[in-house]
Amino acid sequence: MSTEALVPWLLVVPLTAAILTLLVPERMRAPVSWIACVPMLAGAVLITVLRTGATIYSFSGWEAPLGISFTVDGLAGGMILLTAIVSAVCAVHARTSLRDEASANAWFWPLLWFMWTALNGVWMSADLFNLYVCLELLGLAAVGLVALRGTPEALSAALRYLLAALLGSLFYLLGLALIYGSYGALAFTTLSGVLEAVPTVYVALALMAAGLALKTALFPLHSWLPSAHGGALTPVSALLSALVVKASLYVLIRIWLHLTPASGSLAGAATVLGLLGAGAVLWGSWMAWRQEKLKYLVAYSTVAQIGYLFLFFPLVTSGEARASGLAYDGFVLMLISHALAKSAMFLSAGNLIFAVGGEKVSDLAGINRIRQTSMVSFGIAGVGIMGLPPSGGFTAKWLYLQSALITGQWVWIAVLLAGSVLSAMYIFRVFHHAYLDGPPQATFRTPSIWLESSAMFLALSSVLIGLSAWAPLEWMRLPIFKGSH
């Protein structure tokens, strides 16, 4: 079976699963989803193993630019595998954690499958308008998942998220209208290298970047994220922080790498994005330290970590081939290890909240007395977020540091180091409360083995990825960065 034959199945299987989970009775939706995770994981693994170079698949038999084509290269393949692993583990967690929530138990599963379809579409699509439709599908699925809790706070968080997502999509569509109105094509293969350094192109790209930055919650456009991620059900928070928020950033990266005019200078735009990322790191970490509720702390941590991802832009446009290659490697590794560590952190936080029966960080007092698995997995995930060796977060920051040292960009080195210190502050705050002795009559519930092992699996993966980083980096390197090592 070749990679090309696998591509359509990556969309067909989740859509079929969405249809099935809508038709079967409610108690069968979780088992059906578990069964459907198997071909998704198998397909993702096969694509990683079998892929050589970039595979192009033309839907409906018409090649771009008339039809829509999908490109599966290293970056896309890696994101497909990451999505499969994180989604499958969150599905395992959701079956147990959502069993007592009447409405969420039934309707989480179709929304999960729509979200998975949209994610696969975003990673692979090589057509600007198809990316718009996939991002809309993803955004609406995510909003539905946030609203699933049904409480007024969850509904207002969902409305805030929806307004931000819709505004971001409209800006993206405006940029798309300008590009199609000028050049008459929407496919990456046709447009790449064609866009000139004229005002129309700059306005179009700036609009698209603004819309995508709003959807990725880049500081200062991040105000929708903490209540949406912090107030949602636990597996939903994990999926949103790990995968959904990265999708719009991925589209921005694709546009940056393939569509930006070769002749013009991008240094100004890159510096702006880098400064906003630095702001995100500092502001997000500071707000995380100040949070009372555990899941809101983790949500603000996502705001901070997204800032690190945006440091990619100034580091990759430095002009030095070796520095650009290192910046790309650091970015890819940070995408993967943050997804694994943040989903582990959210699942662990959910388990801890279930165990102590309270949502605040101060409610964790005394938890060191019972089975500590969730606290340990939270700690391991925290190691990844802080960037301590041997986690993937450390290796990613190390690659960033090397890239910044080569080109002498001291500002970003300062941001990386300051961010690590600040993240240590809020992670250790959680530990401080957990090791305080609680009141003697405090009772704790024990999370089931499914909940704890799913969190632990993701936490251990985020460390494993740091130890064996060379393999995924090799697989996911794009052709423009090969040969710079």
Partner 1 sequence: MNPRTVCAAVMCGMLVGLLGLAITMRPEAVITLPERVAAELSRSGVSHPVTAVLLNFRSLDTLLEIGVLLLAVVVAYALRETQADPADRMGLDNRLLHAVIAWLFPLMLLVAGYLLWAGATRPGGAFQAGALLAAAGVLLRLAGIRPSDFAHTLGARAVLVFGLAVFLAVGLGAMAVGGHFLEYPPAWASPFIFGVELALMLSIGFALFSLFELAPPHPVSNKGARERSET
Partner 2 sequence: MSNALLFAWTGAALCGLGLFGFIVHKHLMRRLLAFNIMGSGCFLMLVGLAQDGRGPDPIPQALVLTGIVVAVASTALALVIFRRWFRLSGKVRLPEDA
Which residues are at the interface with partner 1 (CB under 8 A)?
Answer: 8, 12, 15-16, 18-19, 22-23, 57-62, 65-68, 102-104, 106-107, 110-111, 114, 117-118, 121, 129-130, 133-134, 136-137, 140-141, 143-144, 147-148, 150, 155, 174, 178, 181-185, 190, 194, 196, 198-201, 203-204, 206-207
Min dist. Cβ of residue 247 to partner 1 (A) = 14
Give the tokens for residue 332.
């890819």
Q: Which is nearer to partner 1, 221 or 326 (CB)?
A: 221
Q: Which is nearer to partner 1, 62 or 435 (CB)?
A: 62
Residue 152's binding partner out of partner 2, partner 1, none, with CB under 5 to 8 Å set by partner kind: partner 2
Q: Which is nearer to partner 1, 179 or 380 (CB)?
A: 179
Alpha-carbon distance of 126 to 334, in angstroms, equals 23
Min dist. Cβ of residue 227 to partner 2 (A) = 9
Residue 173's binding partner out of partner 1, partner 2, none, with CB under 5 to 8 Å set by partner kind: partner 2
Q: Which is nearer to partner 2, 2 or 151 (CB)?
A: 151
Half-sphere exposure of 63 (CA within 13 A, CB side): 3
Residue 209's binding partner out of partner 1, partner 2, none, with CB under 5 to 8 Å set by partner kind: none
Question: Could you tell me how far CA 285 lies from the centroid of its own chain?
Answer: 18
Residue 18's binding partner out of partner 1, partner 2, none, with CB under 5 to 8 Å set by partner kind: partner 1
User: Which helix (H) or strand (E) covers residue 15, if one does?
Assistant: helix 9-23
Question: 447: Cβ–Cβ under 8 A, 6 or more apart, which residues?
Answer: 351, 354, 355, 373, 374
Min dist. Cβ of residue 207 to partner 2 (A) = 10
Residue 259 amino acid letter: L
Question: 181: Cβ–Cβ under 8 A, 6 or more apart, which residues?
Answer: none
Q: Which is nearer to partner 2, 133 or 370 (CB)?
A: 133
Residue 293 amino acid letter: K
Min dist. Cβ of residue 208 to partner 1 (A) = 12
Min dist. Cβ of residue 253 to partner 2 (A) = 24
- Convert 179-245 into a string of H (helix), E (strand) and C (coil): HHHHHCCCEHHHHCCCCCCCHHHHHHHHHHHHHHHHHCCCCCCCCCHHHHHHCCCHHHHHHHHHHHH
Min dist. Cβ of residue 32 to partner 1 (A) = 14
Residue 408's binding partner out of partner 1, partner 2, none, with CB under 5 to 8 Å set by partner kind: none
Cis peptide bond N-terminal to 14, omega within 30: no
Residue 61's binding partner out of partner 2, partner 1, none, with CB under 5 to 8 Å set by partner kind: partner 1
Min dist. Cβ of residue 131 to partner 2 (A) = 12
Min dist. Cβ of residue 138 to partner 1 (A) = 10
State the residues that interact with partner 2 by CB under 8 A.
129, 133, 136, 140, 143-144, 147, 151-152, 155-156, 158-160, 162-163, 166-167, 170, 173-174, 176-178, 180-182, 184, 186, 223
Min dist. Cβ of residue 12 to partner 1 (A) = 6
Question: 275: Cβ–Cβ under 8 A, 6 or more apart, which residues?
Answer: none
User: Which helix (H) or strand (E) covers residue 72, if one does?
Assistant: strand 69-72
Q: Which is nearer to partner 1, 5 or 480 (CB)?
A: 5
Alpha-carbon distance of 325 to 279, in angstroms, equals 24
Q: How many angstroms separate the Cα of 172 from the Cα of each of 21, 216, 225, 252, 483?
A: 32, 13, 19, 10, 33
Burial of 357: CB neighbours in 10 Å, binned 0-12, 13-18, 19+: exposed
Tokens 């997804």 -> residue: 339
Q: Which is nearer to partner 1, 218 or 364 (CB)?
A: 218
Residue 176's binding partner out of partner 1, partner 2, none, with CB under 5 to 8 Å set by partner kind: partner 2
Half-sphere exposure of 414 (CA within 13 A, CB side): 8
Residue 58's binding partner out of partner 1, partner 2, none, with CB under 5 to 8 Å set by partner kind: partner 1
Q: Which is nearer to partner 1, 140 or 340 (CB)?
A: 140
Task: Kindly report the length of the chain.
Answer: 485
Q: CB 140: neighbour CB atoms within 10 A?
A: 18
Q: Which is nearer to partner 2, 140 or 344 (CB)?
A: 140
Alpha-carbon distance of 102 to 108, in angstroms, equals 11
Min dist. Cβ of residue 384 to partner 2 (A) = 32
Burial of 444: CB neighbours in 10 Å, binned 0-12, 13-18, 19+: middle
Q: Which is nearer to partner 1, 129 or 289 (CB)?
A: 129
Residue 159's binding partner out of partner 1, partner 2, none, with CB under 5 to 8 Å set by partner kind: partner 2
Min dist. Cβ of residue 417 to partner 2 (A) = 33
Residue 410's binding partner out of partner 1, partner 2, none, with CB under 5 to 8 Å set by partner kind: none
Burial of 78: CB neighbours in 10 Å, binned 0-12, 13-18, 19+: buried
Residue 354's binding partner out of partner 1, partner 2, none, with CB under 5 to 8 Å set by partner kind: none
